[in-house]
Structure 1
Amino acid sequence: MSDIAFTSPHEVEVAFYAALARADLEAMMAVWSEDEDIVCVHPGAPRVVGLAAVRNTWQQLFASGPRLKIEISQQVISAGSVMAMHSVLQHVHLEGDDELHPPIVATNIFVLGARGWRMVAHHASPTPDLHAGDPDAPMLVH
């Protein structure tokens, strides 16, 4: 249980990406709600539900230590008094890889509880490489 009281969804999101960059499992789990209904979807991976399962996925991801630098851009925010949704583009830079990769689209959902704001969902999906293939090809959404 984390004693940190995040006062805004923005604080939670900053702490989330800082923990991700440092591969810091305890800091990562401090941003999450302790409810069992939390959800996490890593790029190209299945949906994970529940605190223990979410912790396990981050533990596996962090096993090899810090290796990511992530910058976010094009943030779209929808917020109310007890819930907020942030949609961002994550620009991921892998340690030792100078190649420019397409951004990852992420949705982060936060709720306000008795102990401040916490994350309840993180869903990250790869975007298509719009520079590869036929630039005139139609883009299918569904």
Structure 2
Amino acid sequence: MSTPIIASPDDAEQAFYDAFNRSDLEAMMKVWSEDEEAVCVHPGGSRFSGLVAIRESWKQLFETGMKFNVRISNVVRNHSALIAVHSLLQHVSVEGDDTIAPPLITTNVYARGPQGWQLLLHHTSPSPDTSGLMMQESPRVVH
């Protein structure tokens, strides 16, 4: 069975977060570009380059047995014919943990190729402060 072509960057993003919420490694990896230049940076963690390393990082995370609930907000999209960059806030909670963690700052870069839109870079960082401009829906011009 062949992998379906992902029609848009938004479809790729939806598939990525659906796989994340289900801890579904196979579905997660179908979203990733087969380009060996693919990069994944987990919050406060290491930089993983190439599909083998990226796959192993997600495998280890999913094998912890934690059930994640991830939702995104404040998505800022920049699209061209072959590249799409999404800057967003990622809200992660873990089943059974009532702690409300601050959102994570995330950048997802999608590339359009033979399989449609696929994830080329996922970089998530802890948020130092969410009370300022970061929470606005759209950028503000200050000059």
| TM-score, normalisation: structure 2 | 0.87
* Residue of structure 1 equivalent to 2:138: none
How far apart, CA to CA, are the structure 2 residues paired with 1:59 and 1:2?
A: 22
User: Does 2:14 correspond to 1:14?
Assistant: yes
* Residue of structure 1 equivalent to 2:123: 123
Structure 1 residue 114 displacement after superposition: 1.3
How far apart, CA to CA, are the structure 2 residues paired with 1:65 and 1:99?
A: 18
Unaligned 5+ runs, structure 2:
132-143
Q: Which amino acid aligns with 1:97?
A: D
* Residue of structure 2 equivalent to 1:137: none
Q: Identity of counterpart residues, as a percentage?
A: 50
Structure 1 residue 66 displacement after superposition: 5.1
Classify the secondary structure of the residue corresponding to 1:10. Answer: helix
How far apart, CA to CA, are the structure 1 residues paired with 2:92 and 2:130?
A: 17
How far apart, CA to CA, are the structure 2 residues paired with 1:2 and 1:109?
A: 23
How far apart, CA to CA, are the structure 1 residues paired with 2:68 and 2:2?
A: 24
Moved over 4 A (4+): none
User: What is the root-mean-square deviation of aligned Cα atoms in Å?
Assistant: 1.6
User: Does 2:84 correspond to 1:77?
Assistant: no
Q: Say if 1:75 and 1:87, in contact at 8 Å, map to a contact too.
A: yes
Q: Say if 1:69 and 1:95, in contact at 8 Å, map to a contact too.
A: yes
Unaligned 5+ runs, structure 1:
132-142
Structure 1 residue 2 displacement after superposition: 5.7
* Residue of structure 2 equivalent to 1:139: none
Q: Say if 2:66 and 2:94, in contact at 8 Å, map to a contact too.
A: no
* Residue of structure 2 equivalent to 1:34: 34
Q: Deviations over 1:102-130 (max 9, x none)?
A: 00011000000012110000000010256
Change (3 A) 1:125 1:114: same
